[in-house]
A and B are shown apart, each in its own frame.
Chain A
Amino acid sequence: MQLPAAQVAVLEAASATDDRTVDAVASEVGESPTVVTRAAFELRDEGLLEVTEQVDESVSLTEEGETYREDGLPEVRLYRAAMDAGADEEAVEMGQLVGASGLAGPEVQIALSNFARKGYGHIDGGAVSADADAAPDTDEEATALDAIAAGDAETVDEDTLDALERRNLVVREERTVRSLLLTDAGVDAMMEGVNVAETVAQVTPELLTSGEWADVEFTEYNVEADAEAVTPARKHVLRQTADRVKDVLVGMGFQEMEGPHVDAEFWINDCLFMPQDHPARTHWDQFVLSNPSKMDDDDMPSELVDRVARAHREGVGEDGDGYHSPWTEDVARGLDLRGHTTSLSMRYLSGHAEGELEPPQRWFSVEKVYRNDTLDATHLLEFFQIEGWVMAEDLSVRDLMGTFTEFYEQFGITGIEFKPHYNPYTEPSFELFGRHPVTDELIEIGNSGIFRPEVLEPLGVDCEVMAWGLALERLAMLVTGAEDIRDLHGTLADLDFLRNAEVIY
């Protein structure tokens, strides 16, 4: 018979007449008790070995128990001090006895409670009187501590053991002891001869081509052991979120826009009907460039510039009013890092990016925008803006609500609320609020609206366009639970955070 090496060793060490414990066998064959136990059970399953189990109780002293065994139980020490002070005749002040007995800290309380329980005397108003007839020398608990220390726990009666356990002076532990005995079949097998089966560590090309693999056994591994840590190459977690957003939008029929990060204020602000003296158009809020600083006159779309200028000055339509703010083309030619990707929407809607667009259209981008702000846990100087718009005849506020409800539901954000808001470029405008998927808090998740006629008419669009925007990082923080936006994006990134971030799909 061929068996694995460990099983052969255990068979050889086991006896047909005397039970041998796993520990004894293990030390004889030089294997760990775990290996021997596993081999023993496998042999039992083969019917070669009988395994019997016995539950042993062991009792040992706790640290506190050991201290009391050496120094005496606190109540006994108190009794002795009381007797020395003559408390069997006249009550003695507690304070005096504490000093004499050397009790300290919690020992005093322990001494007092057990003193009375064991009938060593009485305590009345801080004075101790002792019973001269008490016999602390034969205190059962003190005797038991000695017996347990000497390994004679079985001589201690059960009640005393319970009492000591309650006082946390001893611990009782149960332990299963397995004993091995060869069965008749085991003896027969040994008589016939048992050999160690050859095991193979590695599957090799030779093993496979020679056909030898059919006759060998493979060495068992500890398949539960820890493996070496590997750092997987992976897409950045914010890219994964962006990909997810793009998938959703493409699925909803949106096409992707592309366009310049450095752009003229004309495309960034003026087309959006932002007055040139709007507070957000100062260098405090946007990244104005010193080099390059202005677009050339020739590169400005002159007819569109005229129409936009007229919208700013005079408004649009019979009843329309313009702004009472200065407007010059010089300001419009100023170059900035774009503060939003709505500049792309303007380039597409005007026909400058893809030619004239006929309704219906849906377009999006998930791209970088730049804000002159202070960098902190929730603000970045540059972040990704999700921008999307829908162009169609007769769009209403309800279509806007339907589109965004659908979009956010894809990310588990439901119960969208639309708070009427003001933007210079949309009317009506709404801030979007949704329930945090985990905390259920109401949080702002975007800004939206229907483009004003003063935006659309100069662009040559004569149907409705609704648009919305939100920060991708905000969505990512909601979805990943990240608390510091700087971990998600930028050169301050912690590789460990990125390596351990959960996959977004």
Chain B
Amino acid sequence: MPVVDVDPDELRQLASTERDDEELKRDLFDLGLEFEGETEDGEFQLEFAPDRLDRLSVEGVARSLRYQDGTDRGVYVPKTNDAEWVIEVDESVPDERPYVTGAIVRGLDMSQTKLDSLIQLQEKLHATMGRQRVKGAIGIHDLTMLKGSAERSSADRSSGQGPRDNAAREGAGKAISYRGITPDADTFVALDSDAELTPGEVLTDHPTGEQYADIVEEYERYPAIYDDIGLFSFPPVINGRRTEVDDESRDLFIELTGTDQWTIDKMCTILCYALDARGGRVEEVRVEYPEGHPSEQRDLLRPDLDVDEKTVTHARVEQLLGVELDESDVVDYLERAGLDAEPLERDGEPAYRVGIPPYRVDVLNPVDVVDDVGRAHGFNELSPRYPDVSTVGGRHETARLESAARDALVGSGFEDMLDFHMTSERDCFDRMGLDIPDELAPDAPLGQRPPVTIAEPYSEDYTVVRTWALPSLLTVLENNTHRAYPQNLAEIGLAAHVDEREETKAAERRTVAAVLARTDAGYEDAKARLQALAGAFGKALETPATTHPSFIEGRTAAVELDGERVGVVGEVHPRVLVEHDLELPVAAFEFDLSALE
């Protein structure tokens, strides 16, 4: 879950409140922001669920507090100035990363604290909505360092290297260009660097470049942003040093590139709300896509501050929350959640047209509006009631069989085990003397089946799902040689193997496995108990001689229940015993639980 670091004094100031630290923590908890601890500088570390990404900065948290307090009500949309700048998207833009958006914020009275907060918000947005910059990446620049020509020549446009000529377009005077270039087509000085590097060199020679190289290294053309002076940003990897923002910057140019327009627009909106709360003046930026671009619209005015609407009926609110509410209360709760609410009638029933502020990314359906009403009302104010609905309960048939077989095993003196279904090829096959087959062979010894295999396991001890359970029991014996004997252990649990004929391409079964470990354990002890178990379930047991690599030849039999071959019984081979550091004989059996049905 996301964590945001917030200076409590800054929060108090932005939220216009004088609460002490403890009151703050309590009220933040009610908002869903859990106090996790403090940073070295005394900032609160607040953890919250990843739905309210508009709270990824102190400004967003303060906004939520203001609504909770009733200091603010309803939807607020920042005023914007008309666009002066254009982001022109060139036809060469990388196919993998075609979208761009942006905004300008002027008149910021920057300070180190504000800058830190902005950088944190940028990083948190990258980590969440931006999916580690893959889906969306933010670049923030000092506007005064950018040069966009008011008069652009058509020569530039035809060369494909410079900004396009759109002097004809009204109100748009200055432009930057988003395009794709080959990895070594140009050079620039990246942040935290002194060297002129090509984008290709940045990926190998710059620490930030190395970190994000895997996003773009497969691209044919790398994303690049140009102004009149030249290349100044290499999204999503790194900005150039020329436009670096510091604590004296007043006017910012924000650009975002990504794989989805909506996502980068929302990230941009959240940034603009945060900077608006800091006294900045948002100015629109025009985005122009070329012919043939996948974007649904050719021209966009950004940031997107449109207020979305959802309609929810009063009955739906009451039904989901299970309480009767006055319409005026519902309106009040909605406004205190930062939403607009306009009562209306739908199909003759009272309903609300609810306005959703543009920074909210989590409201997909009217049900999300009901949740906001519930939170504003206080869910813990609702009294629990047991639903007046009658149903008949019961266990699954397979589960009943498993349970009965387990009782019978415990009754014959076995300690019931519960082992992991995941194991390693080494434990499941190698140490048992089995081969690891690629294909399913009908006459293969029990356990010797192609295992269900994990693609990228963390641990080499857990790489496959076990094909049989006997290896698990031998591992328990191995780990408990210092404990009192006899150790008669049994387990009923899952085993599986790859089988293309199954819906999920894995055949899953419940397997019954047992071991008898004591100084005089022998074949007969295992067969005697197997016989008792079969008898208890009314099954006829036959044990024709067979061979199995894990057992001693001449002391191994197939388990046949009602004529069907379902498992193996015998004395475990000394080679396997020694491999498991066991110094006494072990008799064992394993068979399919379904044979007892």
Contact = CB atoms under 8 A, between A and B. Distances in A.
A420 B260 contact: no
A325 interface: yes
Contacts of A490: 418-420
A443 interface: no
Nearest to A319: B310
B309 A319 contact: yes
Contact of A499 (B370, B415, B479, B505): B415
A495 B480 contact: yes
Given A258-B396, A454-B364, A401 B406 contact: no
Contacts of B451: 291
B423 to A, nearest CB: 8
Interface in B444-483: 450-459, 462, 465, 472, 475-476, 479-480, 483
A491 interface: yes
B194 to A, nearest CB: 36
Interface string A421-432: 110000111100
A433 to B, nearest CB: 10
Contact of A402 (B371, B387, B450): B387
A282 to B, nearest CB: 10
A316 interface: yes
A253 B484 CA distance: 43
A495 B487 contact: yes
Contact of B385 (A392, A399, A493): A399
A381 B406 contact: no
A236 B417 CA distance: 6
B462 A381 contact: yes
Interface string A244-261: 001001111111111011
A283 B420 contact: no
A455 to B, nearest CB: 11
A494 B476 CA distance: 8
Contacts of B363: 321
B107 to A, nearest CB: 32
B392 A396 contact: no
A277 interface: yes
Most buried by B among A229, A253, A319, A390: A319
B418 A236 contact: yes
Contacts of B370: 427-428
Interface stretch (B280-288, B314-322, B539-547): B314-322
B170 interface: no
A458 interface: no
B40 to A, nearest CB: 27
B257 to A, nearest CB: 15
Interface stretch (A24-32, A134-142, A170-178, A369-377): A369-377
B452 A291 contact: yes
A251 B50 CA distance: 36
B289 to A, nearest CB: 17
B414 interface: yes
A397 B508 contact: no
B192 interface: no
A253 B387 CA distance: 12
Interface string A413-441: 00011111110000111100000000000
B456 A491 contact: no
Given A261-B421, A402-B387, A335 B505 contact: yes
Contact of A418 (B51, B379, B391, B410): B379
Interface string A332-350: 0001010000000000000
Given A238-B418, A239-B416, A257-B396, A398 B322 contact: yes
A358 to B, nearest CB: 11
B413 interface: yes
Contacts of A290: 453-455
B393 A250 contact: yes
B158 interface: no
B374 interface: yes
Contacts of B480: 494-495
A318 B310 CA distance: 9
Interface string A12-45: 0000000000000000000000000000000000
A20 to B, nearest CB: 48
B406 A239 contact: yes
Contact of A396 (B321, B417, B504): B321
A340 to B, nearest CB: 15
B293 interface: no
Given A372-B457, A397-B320, A397-B321, A316 B386 contact: no
Interface string B369-392: 011001100011011111101111
Contact of A420 (B261, B367, B379, B418): B379
Contacts of A452: 365, 367
A368 B394 contact: no
Nearest to A292: B505
A403 interface: yes
Interface residues of B, number: 98
B319 A394 contact: yes
B505 A319 contact: no
B262 interface: yes
Most buried by B among A238, A320, A380, A401: A401
Nearest to B485: A231
B365 A397 contact: no
Contacts of B310: 319
B501 to A, nearest CB: 10
B504 A335 contact: yes
A452 B367 CA distance: 7
A399 B419 contact: no
Nearest to B462: A381
Contacts of A66: none
A246 B465 CA distance: 26
A412 interface: no
Nearest to A283: B456
Contact of A319 (B366, B394, B450, B455): B366
Contact of A382 (B322, B403, B421): B421
A256 B365 contact: no
Contacts of B168: none
Interface stretch (B7-15, B492-500, B560-568): B492-500
Contacts of B441: none
B393 A253 contact: yes
A262 B504 contact: yes
Contacts of A236: 416-418
A260 B322 contact: no
Interface string A349-370: 0000000000011100000101
A283 B455 contact: yes
Nearest to B318: A396
A398 B384 contact: yes
A404 B479 CA distance: 39
B367 A287 contact: no
Contacts of B472: 491
Given A235-B406, A396-B319, A315 B364 contact: yes
A321 B365 contact: yes
A164 B417 CA distance: 63
A416 B380 CA distance: 10
Given A324-B263, A325-B260, A490-B419, 19 more contacts: A238-B418, A252-B393, A260-B503, A260-B506, A262-B452, A316-B365, A320-B364, A362-B389, A382-B421, A396-B322, A402-B385, A403-B387, A419-B32, A427-B365, A453-B365, A490-B418, A491-B475, A493-B479, A499-B415
Interface of B: 32, 49-52, 131, 135, 260-263, 308-311, 319-323, 362-368, 370-371, 374-375, 379-380, 382-387, 389-396, 398-399, 403, 406-407, 409-423, 450-459, 462, 465, 472, 475-476, 479-480, 483-484, 486-488, 494, 496, 498, 500, 503-506, 508
6 nearest A-B pairs in the assembled complex, by CB-CB distance: A396-B322, A292-B505, A422-B49, A398-B322, A401-B384, A422-B51
Interface of A: 229, 231, 233-236, 238-239, 243, 246, 249-258, 260-264, 277, 279, 283, 287-293, 295-296, 299, 315-325, 335, 337, 360-362, 368, 370, 372-375, 380-382, 390, 392, 394-399, 401-406, 416-422, 427-430, 450, 452-454, 464, 489-496, 498-499
